[in-house]
Every structure is written in structure tokens, then in C-alpha cells.
A = this chain, B = another copy of it.
Amino acid sequence: MAAETYAKAGVDVKRAEEFVKRLKNQSLRQGHETLWEAAGGYAAVYPVSASRAVAVTTDGVGTKLLVANELSKFDTIGIDLVAMCANDLICVGAQPTIFLDYFAIGKLEDNVADEVIAGIVKGCDQAGMLLAGGETAEMPGLYAPGHFDLAGFALGLVSKSKLITGCEIRPGQKLIGVASSGIHSNGLSLARKVIADDKASWHDLLTPTLIYVEPVNEILGRRPEAIKGMAHITGGGWRNLFRLNDHVGFHFENRLPVPDILQKIGQTVPEEEMYKTFNMGMGLGIITDDSHQQLVLDCFNEAGFTAQVVGSVTDKPGVITIAGSQIVIKEE
């Protein structure tokens, strides 16, 4: 089988990113407060007072939906939806608070809807969020029988003293990796293509995305200065780290174990492409310093997550290197 890439699977990340950039250029408007700058652009942060802001973000779960459909298993995709939004909010230092869902389907089928919502409720539990409403749209003609789409909207609250700007990131600081549960909710179009004939692995594709809110709330509540930057590893894979600060790069001394499902995909997809598309075992990357590294590790490990120091910040902007590997991941 020829080497697969995400672009060949029908998703052009670069084109999508350019499009989003054009969109952002049109987003300035008079008569409003100025958005607070936050690391990575993971959420828009709008002040509601001199010391407090709301952070808002929206996301979907991509073609993980089609995996749920294929397996007729709908009770976890809602967890992914909440995870994609809540994990973005914590990256700016916000405490996830309100979740709204948009659920569009050709014809409302109660069991599907109930299972999807049950997953969303479970996700909100894990994220400590209030499911405050949503829109359920029946759109005969737009969705094929059984198909549906899901979007999530999340709002968090952040005080100025806890806002993560990324501007204190410096070479020499530590990079802590927190383990993912598998593929999470990105790169599914490529993954589905690669393991199309290996139906046994499809169940692994559906493992829900981990929600990292609880330990991050704990850390920010105790020592907001402990977290210099935090990257939710989503579309674009490890390149998400480049979102945090333009002046640095990263070197990995070691790695978290790569989940089986990603190892399987890696038998077909070139290694560099794997790092640019998938989380490769690291669902969340956290920049901290020597004096706070133990606190960060303890909070995650006590909450049942696997976290370890995986590397450090370097002075090579836009470059990620990995000890013992020829792979160099660059910003594009």
C-alpha cells in the first residue's frame, strides 16, 4: 500500500488553516472590548470586567462520527465533543463552565439521540460543565439516513491572574506530556482510510477523548504560575506546540507510549506525517519550570492520568526534535 497522508485522505489542513486565518482577519470590530491575547488561540477571551473574562470556543468531532455510525455505537461520541471544547478552554487558563450542543440529523431517531446526549452529559460531568441547552435540527435531505453531525460550543471563565498567555515560555523550561487514550478526535479521515479493512480495529478508533479539566483546575487553583503554556494536541498533531510561543522550539528526550491504534496506523503512514496528524500518545503538552514540575506531575497522576517530563523548550523557533530519531517536525 502506498504511503498515506492526511491530504490524500481528503483533508487539506493547510488550506483549512489559511481559510481560518482569513476569517480571523475579518473579526475586528469597533464598539467592543479588545479580546485578551491568550496562548495558542485555543479560545477567544472577552473581558467582562477589568479582572475577568469569558473564554469561548467551538469544535466538532470530525469523521469520528462515521466510526460511531459504522459501529452503531453512539454513547461516547458526546464525550469526544465535550472533550474537544473543554480541553481547548483550559489551554487559555479558563475554567470550563457552560456547554451547548448542536445536533443535526436527517430524521430524529430516539435511541441515537438519547445515546449521543447521554455521552454529552457524561462529558460535561467529567469537565464539570453545565449543559445549558442546545439545538436539535432535523434536516431531511442534507444528511444521509442514519448520518448526523455534532458541534459543541463551550464557555469558560478566566481571571486575568490565571490567563495563560505563553509569553513566559523560555528555553530550558520543561515539557510535560499527558497521555492520550488513543486517537482522540483528530485524523480520523486518514485513520479510517488506512484501517478500512481491519474492522476489529474500528472499536479502538472510537475510544473517547480524555478530558483534562480536573487536574488543570487543581493546578491553576493552587499555583496559576505553574503552567507557562499548554497545548491540546488536536488537528496538526505535535505542531500544536508551535501555537504557544513564536520564539521557541521543543526537544523530546523521551516519549509517552504510542497507543496500539496509532502504531497500527503508523505501519502505513510515514512517521513524520504521524507526528503532524496524530497526538502520538500525548493528548496534552504542558510547559512548566523546575520549581513547579512536581506539582504538575502530582496533580495529573493523582487524578488518574499518566504524565511525565518528556522534554524541554529550546531556542530553535518552529522546530521539534526527538532524541534518537531523524524526524524533525517543523512549522509550515
Q: CB within 8 Å of B: which residues of A?
A: 9-12, 15-16, 19-20, 22-24, 26-29, 31-32, 35, 41, 43-44, 46, 48-49, 52, 54, 56-60, 62-63, 65-66, 97-98, 100-102, 104, 107-108, 110, 113-114, 117, 121, 124, 128-144, 147, 149, 151, 153, 155, 157, 189, 192
Contact = CB atoms under 8 A, between A and B. Distances in A.
Given A131-B29, A151-B104, A56 B110 contact: no
A61 to B, nearest CB: 9
A157 B52 CA distance: 14
B142 A44 contact: no
A32 B130 CA distance: 8
Given A102-B58, A140-B10, A135 B157 contact: no
6 contacts: A12-B138, A20-B134, A22-B117, A24-B133, A62-B137, A139-B189
B46 A48 contact: no
A125 to B, nearest CB: 8
A52 B58 contact: no
A151 B103 CA distance: 9
Q: Which 10 A-B pairs have the closest CB atoms?
A: A10-B140, A44-B132, A153-B153, A102-B151, A58-B100, A27-B131, A151-B151, A29-B130, A11-B138, A44-B133
Contacts of A26: 117, 121, 131
Contacts of A157: 48
A122 B114 CA distance: 36
Contacts of A57: 100, 133
Contacts of A28: 130
A153 B46 CA distance: 15
A66 B139 CA distance: 9
Given A54-B155, A56-B155, A58-B102, 8 more contacts: A19-B110, A23-B117, A26-B121, A27-B132, A29-B128, A31-B128, A44-B98, A49-B49
A88 to B, nearest CB: 10
Contacts of A149: 104, 139, 142, 149
Nearest to A129: B29
Nearest to A140: B10
A24 to B, nearest CB: 7
Contacts of A107: 10
A48 B107 CA distance: 38
Contact of A130 (B27, B113, B137): B27
Nearest to A85: B135
Nearest to A31: B128
Contacts of A129: 29
Contacts of A108: 12, 15-16, 19
Contacts of A140: 9-11, 63, 189
A23 to B, nearest CB: 6
Contacts of A15: 108
A153 B100 CA distance: 9
B131 A56 contact: no
Contacts of A31: 128
A72 to B, nearest CB: 16
Contacts of A46: 97-98, 130, 132, 155
